[in-house]
A = this chain, B = another copy of it.
Amino acid sequence: MEPLRSRFQKDADKGAEAYAASIPFDQRLYEEDIKGSIAHARALAKAGIISEKDAEFIIMGLSSIREEIERGQFQFKPKLEDIHMNIEARLFEKIGYVAGKLHTAHSRNDQIALDLRLFAKEANSETIARLKELQRALLDSAEGNLDVIIPGYTHLQHAQPVLLAHHLLAYFQMLERDVARFRGCLERTDVLPLGSGALAGVSYPIDRSFLAEELGFSRISQNSIDAVSDRDFIVEYQAAAAMTMMHLSRFAEEIILWSSSEFGFVEVDDAYATGSSIMPQKKNPDVAELARGKTGRVYGNLMGILTTLKALPLSYNRDLQEDKEGFFDTVDTLLSTLDVCAGMVRTLRVHGERTREAAAEGYILATDIADYLVKKGIPFRQAHTIVAELVRYAMDQGKTFGQLSLDEYQRFSPLFDQDVRSITLESSLAARNLPGGTAPEQVEQALRMARRLLDV
């Protein structure tokens, strides 16, 4: 019979025990748990609830358990349910009777809330750091390919020419918003729950502010019931992660498209590609495909925790044990995806002649020709109609804009003149010279601003 089953007359059913045990996954929180217990022991001593000597004894025991775990010598037991009871039981073995004093004013309910918040704070910080790494890789690539023109797309159809750097900066912006979201999440995570007890608070005069300081929290929780029931900080991380993965899936999709033989815009480095077991010629952009595919699990984990929390009455319910695995999986997935994407970007080869050639195909300068007419005095909507008819004529003739004679142009509007010939990819880019536009001047300015943001 286990320590917490004293009022029961039976052992747990073996299947039920395995079903309920969280130790297979919450052992990952051993460091947070021990850190929290050490701080708690100090707080108990500070309040005179236990003696300084007992506190030292407990801290010594906990430290040596941490070492055991780190050396792989600790035996986790499902029978002991979770990381807290595993460590507590071992502490009894190590220091005996005194171990029983640690759990004064300490419940597994506020303990797990603490462990998770410590873990989540670290996860948020690390995520922000890796987002910035990827942003840096994008900036480096943008700067290294400043003269590369690509067709800009809407509906995956050629729309208007843009600089590759401008396109990459769009992702920089997305990640910048991601950083802001994780910062908000971090701020809301940075709240000490210890001292909330099982749900109602504790009846010992421990100093919660001291605990917050010891454990590096900026604030203490304001309501004990909320403190043990709340998993918002996990949901919020998962929601922010889902948005980041959404961004990365868009980027991955483009890398995959651009790597196809039809596009041929880029080539993923061998180090980020794999071959085929049957087709000797294959080089697959696997990392991008996996990043795109893993979006699913991150969305799923978000859905999972939202479902688990739906309609759950206060305060702690065992359902909350389901908060961990999906969260860990999302953190691991996001961090590794950010990592490999940064590596993939840094080693990506861009085929600038090919992208320029693609941009030059077709009627990508149609908007510029319409703008040309507008500048000669025609309202935009009419100019749009004239150029649409011009495009239709050119397609029927199998000609590009460049292959049309001035005569042919003038069939559609007398305002066309020789200078229509000076509309080029370059002139098109240069014309979009407002903040946020793709004109080289603007893009250079945007790169400088982005660089500065990275240093914040």
Contacts and interface: CB of A to CB of B under 8 A. Distances in A.
A243 B235 contact: yes
Interface in A244-279: 246, 249-250, 252-254, 256-257, 259-264, 269-279
B279 A381 contact: no
Given A246-B309, A304-B296, A283 B174 contact: no
A100 to B, nearest CB: 3
This chain: copies in complex: 4
Majority SS of interface residues in chain A? helix
A407 interface: no
Interface stretch (A59-67, A68-76, A118-126, A147-155): A147-155
A20 interface: yes
Given A226-B170, A297-B304, A313 B156 contact: yes
Interface stretch (A26-34, A385-393, A414-422): A385-393
A397 interface: no
Interface string A196-222: 111111111110100000000000111
A209 B175 CA distance: 24
A55 to B, nearest CB: 13
Interface string A292-322: 1111110111111111111111111111111
A36 interface: no
Contacts of A390: 280
Interface string A417-437: 000000000001101111111
Interface size class, chain A:
35 or more
Nearest to A104: B380
A93 interface: no
A203 B431 contact: yes
Contacts of A287: 16, 19-20
A280 B371 CA distance: 11
A107 to B, nearest CB: 4
A39 interface: no
A166 interface: yes
A232 B303 CA distance: 18
Contacts of A295: 307-308, 310-311
B159 A198 contact: yes
A404 interface: no
Given A222-B449, A296-B322, 13 more contacts: A7-B395, A11-B271, A155-B318, A160-B197, A162-B225, A171-B226, A253-B312, A260-B262, A261-B361, A280-B387, A296-B309, A296-B326, A297-B308
Which 4 pairs, one residue from A and one from B, show the smallest C-beta to C-beta distance? Answer: A201-B437, A300-B304, A293-B319, A100-B379
